[in-house]
Amino acid sequence: MSSARPDLIVIHEHPEWQKPLFAALERRGISFEPYNVTHAAFSNEELPRALLYFNQASPSAYIRGNTRAVPLALAYMRTLERLGARVLNGADVFALELSKSVQATLLRTLAIATPRSITFNEPSALRAYADAITWPAVLKPDQGGSGARIQVVESVEQVEEIFRRDPSIWQPDNLFLLQEYLPHDPEQGIVRLEFLGGELLYAMRVKTHGRFNLCPSPVCNPDDGEGICEIPALQPVDAPPVEFFPYPEVPREAVAEATRIVQAAKLDVGGIEYLETPDGQRVFYDINANSNLRPSVAEAFGFDPFERVVDYLARQLELFRTP
């Protein structure tokens, strides 16, 4: 490890995702250092080395063979914060991102419409909720990421068979959700709002075409061609690619609700997703702390999203430098 003390350390697991951010930091002359949690170690005797840490670790690390990256990232951030370091999208925020069940509870406590969900570690336990489940339903891991292991199911028997056939599906955290399935207009898609420092950066519509891997990064879902990320199993491989469109006319009410979520979750940088049901209800269902920004969408709004992130990071650093 270098003996120099950078102003900023970026905690991450996916070097390809970080290239645009690192390039923007270099253009601005900000002293930074990457900290890749896929192969890492830290000591309880080490004091924080940087003015500011920025967490970009992803829950989906396990689908890339980096299962151990997530617990190390969480432990490292908890240690840093115990030692007084400032970590953007720190341990509590990352823990929220790692649990879809906690996200669902947060949305419910905010009185924001969200799908009903049941968390379980044994499929047969779902039978106690037989009267509350409507079919079809969405089966998803508690630790989400890139749509991995999400599928639509029709019965408890089908859920039991899924886990009986492939016990490895329990990875990485041995918890799953059975969530209310809510249809939406495929021509409208879902909506994702990107936030930076508590303010809306931009909104976009995402046409899923039945896919669950909605990662906005061009690395995973490029504007042209196939992505280089591993596409999670259970996706409809014959479906058209996911499409991303600028959404400047996003309703103010949707922005206000998403802002409440961002504030309650204490997100520094993040994405909030919702869909609209056929009867016009707006239903929020996903909170993302690791926000992979989409330059082609932001360009329609007249800016480079990574330059905006660097603006924000520079302001945060200045706050620490000010006596």
Residue 232 burial (C-beta neighbours within 10 Å; 0-12, 13-18, 19+): middle
Q: Which two tokens stand for residue 211?
A: 């896919």
**Between the CA of residue 103 and those of 6, 54, 136, 323, what are the distances in Å?**
34, 21, 21, 37
Q: Where are the domains of the chain?
A: 8-97+312-321, 114-180, 190-304
Peptide bond into 20 cis (omega under 30): no
Q: Which of 225, 227, 223, 228 is nearest to 299 (CA)?
A: 223
| Local structure of 97: helix, strand or coil | helix
Give the architecture-level CATH label for domain 8-97+312-321.
3-Layer(aba) Sandwich (3.40)
**Phi/psi of residue 280, each to 5°?**
90, 10
**Phi/psi of residue 109, each to 5°?**
-70, -25
CATH of domain 114-180: 3.30.1490.20
| Contact between residue 124 and residue 163 where contact means Cβ atoms under 8 Å apart | no
Give the residue ranges of DSSP H helices in 245-304. Answer: 252-265, 295-300
Tell me whether domains 114-180 and 190-304 share a fold. Answer: no
User: Which residues lie across from 282 on neighbouring strands?
Assistant: 276
User: Which residue positions in the chain have pLDDT lower than 70?
Assistant: 1-3, 145-147, 209-239, 322-323
Report pLDDT for 236.
55
pTM above 0.85, yes or no: yes
| Contact between residue 96 and residue 262 where contact means Cβ atoms under 8 Å apart | no
Report pLDDT for 35.
98
CA 271/CA 258 separation, integer angstroms: 9
Q: Which two tokens stand for residue 86?
A: 């400032």
CA 66/CA 225 separation, integer angstroms: 25
The label of the residue with tokens 């995402």 reads 206
CA 263/CA 199 separation, integer angstroms: 10
- Distance, C-alpha 158 to centroid of its chain: 28
Taking domain 190-304, whether its CATH number is 3.30.470.20 is answered by yes
Report pLDDT for 153.
96
| Contact between residue 265 and residue 287 where contact means Cβ atoms under 8 Å apart | yes
Residue 90 burial (C-beta neighbours within 10 Å; 0-12, 13-18, 19+): buried
For the beta sheet containing 52-55, the strands, ordered from the edge strand earlier in sequence to the opposite edge, are 32-36, 8-12, 52-55, 87-88
Q: Tens of pLDDT along 295-314?
A: 999 999 999 999 999 999 99
Q: Tens of pLDDT along 166-183?
A: 998 898 889 999 999 998
| Contact between residue 180 and residue 132 where contact means Cβ atoms under 8 Å apart | no
Long-range contacts from 104-108, C-beta under 8 angstroms, 24+ separation = 104/177, 104/179, 104/285, 106/261, 106/264, 106/265, 106/287, 107/261, 107/284, 107/285, 107/287
